[in-house]
Every structure is written in structure tokens, then in C-alpha cells.
Structure 1
């Protein structure tokens, strides 16, 4: 694939190159009113993405998006990614992060990629965080040069780049989290600032003055393609980097852009003063239902969202979870219409969204998507039975070995095999719920029994 017009100048650096960033942040940038002024240098964050960067490089950053509706496809070529690099190319990343032309840094590194504790401080039990901190302290002492530093975590690399930006005097920058975390911009600011305070104190002060952290709520289902489908699409479109996504898209942002930003509103992005209600709507309804469907659907023999939501047992569980979440959302979000739209999106038979993909990192996802609703329901004196069913589905899926391997698999396996698996797994999920909510534990156990008895 070749460009027919000049590539836009790089003014955005993206961490976490993958299918979602290409269907969402890159799509919005391509459709901005001033897209010719805003190019993206994108860096992969995972080993399996190295081949993607090579494929994109061969295509000058161009790739096709296939918007897969229930009946037909719509295809277009996206040109906002100017360069694609391996995440391991730290010197090039640092050069881009410190460049005066860079105005925005965006991230899609998944919930677990932040490597933060519940209090938004770095996870010092993570060996990679500890190793990166030592590298960054070496940079501060002058015993490690910036060009020789090779941190491996996303925040470690970002902090190294911001330190270089401070030293170069390159001016302010906006940092935009696009991951499924509530207050994602605030969490990123707190986590990065804490890491900087312990490793690069001068840069910590610079971040407080010169870096703006933008929270955003992103919404577009973009399933990972199976190898055979990817090969078929590559042949059909003469494109080695095709992305398949749904027609629906939504992006809501809250925060400052001190060095400017694309006119994303031309692509119907929304800028709001308070993002929390929108985040909650998306996390609790779309993402919460996805996590429930992943666990319950796998237990009941389904493999995709569309097949799971067509199962009356799964669909009823989703609606009961949504009823509880809706009670804690403010007016003005048009929740009934959003729920109807979600069911239509879930039912789309031409979007093959694998439950096994969604089920990765279920422990982290439940903490963010279901536990907050359960806490609010219980505090209001209600039973939180819908939330109990979601947690029970996770317990059953873990006990049966239906969940994919991830970073928490071993701790989940041990908890699932304990004499009281409900208590052990609830403790792993939320010590507060396990400690103070014995009736809730009983409801999880009852839901677990119903799930076992209701096997298809």
C-alpha cells in the first residue's frame, strides 16, 4: 500500500500498538478536520506485536479498517499512523517523546499494563517495576545514560521519555489514557508521578507543571482475528494489517491539551467537564457484561459474545447485572437507549468476539467492572444478586479450568481449589467484600450452585 498524499507530521506518540488503537484513536485522528497536521508514531507494547510493526512498516503505516455490520461490510484505508515501531526500540521512543513537535502521548496498554497497586502507586512486588526503577535511578545519578537505558514497562519507558523531554526543554505535553480504567488519566498521573518521585525527582516536579493528564472513555468492540481469518482478509484486500471492528464507536475526553490537539470533535468525539458518569456507564454496562458473558458463556459451552448473549440464561444474567448498575448512574446518560444499543452490538453475528479473549485478566476486570456496583448495592441495603452471579460465574469457570492463562492464573487456581472456594476467591477479588459481607458470600455460593445445575 502506498500513500497518494504526503504523510502528516508526527505530533502524537502512541504506546500500545494493536488492533484497538488502530480502530479507535488512529481512526478518530484520521477523521479529524485537521488530520493532515496530525500523524502518529506508534509503538508496540507486546512481543506478539513485533510482526505487526513490520507489516505496517511495509505498508507505510497504512491499513484497512473493515466495519462489520450485521449484513454488510464497509472498508476504508486509514493513514494517520506514519511510523510503527517495536516497543523495544527505546532510543527511538525516547526521541519521539522528547521531540518538541510531540504534543500528545496516547496509551492503550490494557488494565494490567499500568502495573499499579490499588492505591495507584507502582507495584513494587513486580520484578519488572523494580528493575525499571533501578535503571531510572541510574539515569538520575548519571551512571546510566538515557541512550543506554532499556526499561521494559510502559510507565518506565514513558517516564524515561518525559525525563528526556524535560532535559531538552521541549515544552508541555498531554498524556491521554485510553484504557478501561475509571479515572484513567488520574490513575496514570498518580502512578507515573509516584514512580518519578522515587527515581527522577526533578522530572517529577517537571511533570507536575508541564504534563496534562487527560481521562477518556473509549468504546468500540474490536476482536482479535484468528489466523485463518486474518490471512483471508489479507488476500482479499492486499493488506497485511487489516482491522475488523463494529460500526459503533464512542470517545469521550476530559482534560487539557496544552500543546494543541486534533479536531477530533469532527469525528464526533465528545469533550466533557466530568467524565466519571460516562466512564461508569461504559465500564459497568459494556465491560461488566462482557466479563460476565465471558465466564458464564464459557461454562455453558459458548465461544463468542453473540452466541452467549443468545442464550437465555446468559442474557437474563446480563440484564440483572445491568439493572443493578443502572441504579447508580445519574440522569442524562440515556442508559435505556445505551442498553438497547449494547444488546444489538452483542448480537451482531458477524463480529466474532471470542469469549476466551475477553476472559484474560478476569480478576482485574471484575475488580473494576463489577465490584464497584456490588459495593454500592450492598451499601444501599440490597442483595447485589446480579453482581453475585457475575462473581459466581468466575468461580465456576476457574474451578473448571475454563479461563485462559494470565498473570493471576496461579493465585486464582489456588483460591479455586481451597476448601471454601467462594470465600478464597472473593478475598482475592475484594478483601473488603470478603471481610464484611457474609450474606453476599452466601448469594455467590447459591448462584454458583445454580450455574452448576443449569449446565446445558
Structure 2
């Protein structure tokens, strides 16, 4: 039997969106929403996406070999369904700076989107661009040369703020008009976060460019939600069984999806609302709900589950010890969410069903990465809100911080989580009694004097783990 070849059901739409970070989440979320939006409008109103990888070029190479088509497998509790996604029309290695700049110089490109990790913003502890970061410093020098007309076409920035500013620099030079930049990640106020680091870089590179960005670029904040585990060989076999086609880059995701956006689109956008996206004046309540319920729950299950020998979210969720701790964590967050009880009840009911879907193999070691970036917004933010409300320290939240610290210190020697390595370096040689205080001060300086929080976390940490920093 001959294997079917890759072919489009519809002509490829023109590139009108450029995306950075062509991983599984982008293909399960952004590109799916764009696919559904395109299906709801006439052909002339469709938006194609050009995607650039953030790290390895392998994903771009695999997708390019398939005409930028791939299979999205939606994995529900009762079975799998497969669909071909066609909204991606170009896939490139992120080092292709000339193509990046050329696309963003086109007036018809109206949206630049990003899916990067929290660490990808390259911020210091104050939230500003970390100008001491060697990669940031290198991008600053490169962009100054490009502004002065001395950079070659093959040069490329390496950081996310650098790439964004490089594209905006090229757009300004081409007089291509305004554009919206949309962040899709788990950081609260991610549009404002990205705006700050991009403008910090622009101010250091060229004041004229910085002024243009302030006037012509809209930075849109968004809350995104769809569990999309890393693709496995079994997932590739499943995609072939469902479609009859060999797919080097399928994506498996859950049925649930959510997207809430706040901000302006001065050059237009896809009709994402036709796929269920919501456009609101204030995304903050939706961000808190997701961060403090779903994402904090994931962190509890990841660090507590790995400690107890589990491999997936579903396994940890079924653990008789962890499940009550998870419910307690949710109760601590509920008290300060400021949302109606019925909305929180509905959100928690959906989360219990999602976490219990054992057919989605969401690996705990994947969730556990970049904890130093995640714990502040998922767990310590709740601790801060409880303190401000005059409520006692949440013991479930304190236990998550303790479990994360244990994970960090016991895995530091493996180099498995390089993004958190800087914190381990700060803690080495610290007296065991001071480790938690130093950690809290590093992650949330405004909570450094919260003796009750530090005491609660300390009481939850194994003393043998604290001895490991000596």
C-alpha cells in the first residue's frame, strides 16, 4: 500500500503572521486557532503563519519536508481524533536572520507571536532586561551594527528580545507600518513584560528605534491554556495509524483549549474569536485563575510526584497523598482569587477531569523545568496575596516551594535544568538554616522579610537536603 503524500486541501494563505518558537504548544494552540479562524472566513481573508524555531532547527527541517503540514492528534479520555493543520506555510531555523527580517518588513504581516519559556525574556530580578547576560550583550552589539548598516545578511540575534527588536528594526526601515506583538506563555502581563525588555534593549541600541517602537508597536497580553506534552515515538505511530501517513512532527494535545487576549491589533489579525478566543479589557483575572489553579497544581504534582516516583501528571494526580495536598493548594488560592465561587468551581471541575486524563502523558520532568521562573508567579504570588489579605501562610503552597527546592538541590549536579543553575550557585556554601531565606529573597525580594513564610517552607524541607549546599 502506497503511503499518502503530503498535500494541502486549500491553497496556502499568504504569510501575515510571523511566529517565534515552533514547538509543540504553538502547533497545538496558536496554529490550531489560526486554522479554525481561516476555515471560518473567505479565502482572501485567511492568514498564513511563518514559523521560526527558538532553539534546534530539527522541527523546522521536519516540517519543511512535509510542506509545513502536520497532524494534530486530540487525545480525549475515550479515544483519539486526527486533523491536518495547514495554517503554517513556512518553517525556518531561527538563525535565518535575513528571512526573519524580510518577512517582518512586509506591510501585510500584521502580527508577530511568540511562545518562549519564562526564562526566554532574559530579565533580571527587577523585571528589566538583564544587560549582564552575555547573550543580551552580544545582541546589543549586533543590533547597533545593524542599525549603523554594518551587519551582514546572515547575522541573527540569539535572544527573544533581540530577535523581536531586530524584526521591528527591519520593519521600521521598510516603512511597513504598525504591528501587534503577542506573547503566549504562562507569565502574567506577558505583553507588558515583553514590551519592557524590548524597549530596554531598544533604548540601549538606538533611541530613534525605541521611539518608533513606542509609537507603532502594540504588545498584546494573553492567557493560553492547552496541555500539549512532548511528542513521543508512540505518538508518531498513532498519527500514522490514524492518517496512513508518516509524520515526522505530529502533535498530541487534550480537547480543552482556551485563549484570552488583551490589547490592540493595529494591522489586523486572524478571526481567532471564531475558534473560541476571547478579547477582553483586562486579562489579569484569567491569568491568575490559570496560574494559581492549573499551573500551581502542575508544580505541586511535578515536584511532589517526582519525589514519590511518578512520571506523569495523571499518575501523580491519582496518588492518595498528593491529591489532598492539591485540593488544599486550590483552597488556599481560592481565598484570594477574587472570582465568583461558581466560576472557580467550574474551573476546578475541568482541571480534575484534565489532570485525570491518563491518556495524555504529560511528563513531570517536563513540567519541573525552569522552576525558579515558575514558582514566583504560580505559588509565591498566592503567598503574597494571602499575606496582603491578612490570611495565614498556606501550608500547601509552602510544601510546593520546599519540594521544588529539594528537586533543585538534588538534581543540580546533573545539569538537567540549566535555567535554574544560577540559583544553585548562589546557595552553595550557605548555612542550612539560611538556605530557604536566601531562596525566597532571590525569587521574591518583597517576601524576604516574611518570617512566617520562610518558617513554613523550612519546616517542610528535609534537613538532609539543606546540608547538600555545603
TM-score of the superposed pair, with normalisation by structure 1: 0.93
Change (3 A) 1:221 1:353: same
**How far apart are 1:217 and its partner, in Å?**
0.3
Query: Which of 137, 143, 147 does residue 150 from structure 2 map onto?
Result: 143
Q: Deviations over 1:245-281 (max 9, x none)?
A: 0000000011111111111111111111111100111
Is 1:347 matched up with 2:324?
no
| Cα distance in 1 for residues equivalent to 2:314 and 2:98 | 43
Could you say which residue in structure 2 is the equivalent of 1:259? 267
**How far apart are 1:385 and its partner, in Å?**
1.6
CA contact (8 A) 1:212 1:258 kept: yes
Could you say which residue in structure 1 is the equivalent of 2:308? 300
| Cα distance in 1 for residues equivalent to 2:463 and 2:131 | 40
Query: Which of 28, 49, 56 does residue 33 from structure 2 map onto?
Result: 28
**How far apart are 1:137 and its partner, in Å?**
1.4
Change (3 A) 1:350 1:416: farther
Is 1:171 matched up with 2:177?
yes
Which stretch shifts more, 2-11 or 404-413? 404-413
Is 1:411 matched up with 2:423?
yes
Which stretch shifts more, 231-240 or 25-34? 231-240
What SS does the corresponding residue of 1:334 show, helix, strand or coil? Answer: helix
Change (3 A) 1:295 1:156: same
Moved over 6 A (4+): none
Could you say which residue in structure 2 is the equivalent of 1:363? 372
Could you say which residue in structure 2 is the equivalent of 1:44? 53
CA contact (8 A) 2:292 2:382 kept: yes
**How far apart are 1:97 and its partner, in Å?**
1.2
CA contact (8 A) 2:401 2:457 kept: yes
Query: Which of 97, 106, 110 does residue 99 from structure 1 map onto?
Result: 106
Q: How many residues align?
A: 447
**How far apart are 1:417 and its partner, in Å?**
6.8
Could you say which residue in structure 2 is the equivalent of 1:334? 343
**How far apart are 1:450 and its partner, in Å?**
11
CA contact (8 A) 1:35 1:80 kept: no
| Cα distance in 2 for residues equivalent to 1:423 and 1:119 | 18
| Cα distance in 2 for residues equivalent to 1:181 and 1:407 | 16
Which stretch shifts more, 292-301 or 232-241? 232-241
Could you say which residue in structure 1 is the equivalent of 2:381? 372
Could you say which residue in structure 1 is the equivalent of 2:458? 445
| Cα distance in 2 for residues equivalent to 1:392 and 1:293 | 13
**How far apart are 1:242 and its partner, in Å?**
0.8
| Cα distance in 2 for residues equivalent to 1:297 and 1:418 | 27
Q: Deviations over 1:295-343 (max 9, x none)?
A: 1110111110000011122112221211121122223581111011111
**How far apart are 1:426 and its partner, in Å?**
2.5
| Cα distance in 2 for residues equivalent to 1:414 and 1:253 | 37
What SS does the corresponding residue of 1:75 show, helix, strand or coil? Answer: strand
Q: Deviations over 1:349-396 (max 9, x none)?
A: 100000000111011100121111111112333122222111111122
What SS does the corresponding residue of 1:144 show, helix, strand or coil? Answer: coil
**How far apart are 1:231 and its partner, in Å?**
4.1
CA contact (8 A) 1:139 1:149 kept: no
Q: Deviations over 1:127-170 (max 9, x none)?
A: 0000000111122333335x253211121111111111111110
Could you say which residue in structure 1 is the equivalent of 2:252? 244
| Cα distance in 2 for residues equivalent to 1:122 and 1:316 | 39
Aligned ranges 1:201-240 → 2 under 5 Å: 201-226=207-232, 228-233=233-238, 235-236=240-241, 237=243, 238=245, 239-240=247-248
**How far apart are 1:414 and its partner, in Å?**
5.8
| Cα distance in 1 for residues equivalent to 2:352 and 2:428 | 31
Is 1:392 matched up with 2:381?
no
Structure 2: state its 5+ residue gaps.
Answer: 1-5, 466-470
What SS does the corresponding residue of 2:112 show, helix, strand or coil? Answer: strand
Structure 1: state its 5+ residue gaps.
Answer: none
Could you say which residue in structure 1 is the equivalent of 2:445? 431
**How far apart are 1:72 and its partner, in Å?**
0.6
Could you say which residue in structure 2 is the equivalent of 1:114? 121
